[in-house]
């Protein structure tokens, strides 16, 4: 049972990390446009020219 001393703080820390992540994304406005977000992942803007060419040829 001594292992609980480590496990519980770790579990709580991971949970808090998730909560902090959510609150951060909320604050940075990522929940303001859920409709747009689902389309943005399909955009290829972040690929540079060579990568784009490669996918184009492939």
Partner 1 sequence: MNVHARDWDAFVTPAEEGAVHMDLAVEGITCAACMGEIERGLSRLPGIRKARVNLTSQRLAVDWDTGQTGADEIVAELSRLGYTAHPFDPASQKDRQDQTGKNLLRCMAVAGFAGMNIMLLSVSVWSGNATDITPETRDFFHWLSALIALPTVAYSGRPFFKSAFTALRAGRLNMDVPIVIGVTLAVGLSLIQTMQHQHHAYFESAVMLLFFLLVGRYLDHNMRGRTRSFAENIAALKAEVAARIGSDGSVREVPLSKIKPGDMVLVMAGDRVPVDGVVFDGRSEIDQSLVTGETILHAVGKGAQVYAGTLNGDGTLKVRVSTATGATLLDEVNRLLETATQAKSLYVRLADRAAQLYAPIVHGAAAVTFAGWMFAGADWQPALVIAISVLIITCPCALGLAVPAVQVVASGQLFKSGVLLNSGDAIERLSDVDTIVFDKTGTLTTAEPCLLDNGQLSYELLALAGRLALSSRHPLSSALVKASGALRPFGSVSETPGAGIEATVDGVALRLGSPAFCSVPDAEIGALLKMHPGASVIAVKHGAEPAVLLPLRQSLRQDAAAVMRELSGLGYQLEILSGDRKGAVRAVAEELGLANWQAEVKPGDKIAHLEALKQQGRKVLMVGDGLNDAPALAGAHVSLSPVTAVHLSQAAADAVFLGDKLQPVADALQISRRARKAIEQNLWISALYNVVAVPIAVAGLVTPLMAAVAMSASSIAVTANALRLRWGEGGSTRSEL
Under the rule (CB under 8 A), what is the footprint of partner 1?
A: 1, 4, 8, 11-12, 15-16, 18-19, 22-23, 26, 31-36, 39-40, 42-43, 45
Closest contact distance (angstroms) between CB of 53 and partner 1 is 18
Do the beta carbons of residue 31 and residue 25 sit within 8 Å?
A: yes
Q: Which residues contact 52 (CB under 8 A, 6 or more apart)?
A: 44
Closest contact distance (angstroms) between CB of 2 and partner 1 is 11
- 11/51 with CB nearer partner 1: 11
Spatial distance between the Cα atoms of 55 and 7, rounded to a whole number of angstroms: 45
């Amino acid at each position: 049972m001594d292992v609980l001393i480590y496990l519980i703080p770790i579990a709580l820390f991971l949970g808090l990390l998730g909560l902090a992540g959510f609150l951060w994304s909320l604050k940075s406005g990522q929940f303001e446009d859920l409709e747009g977000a689902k389309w943005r992942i399909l955009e290829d803007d972040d690929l540079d020219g060579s990568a784009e060419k490669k996918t184009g040829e492939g």
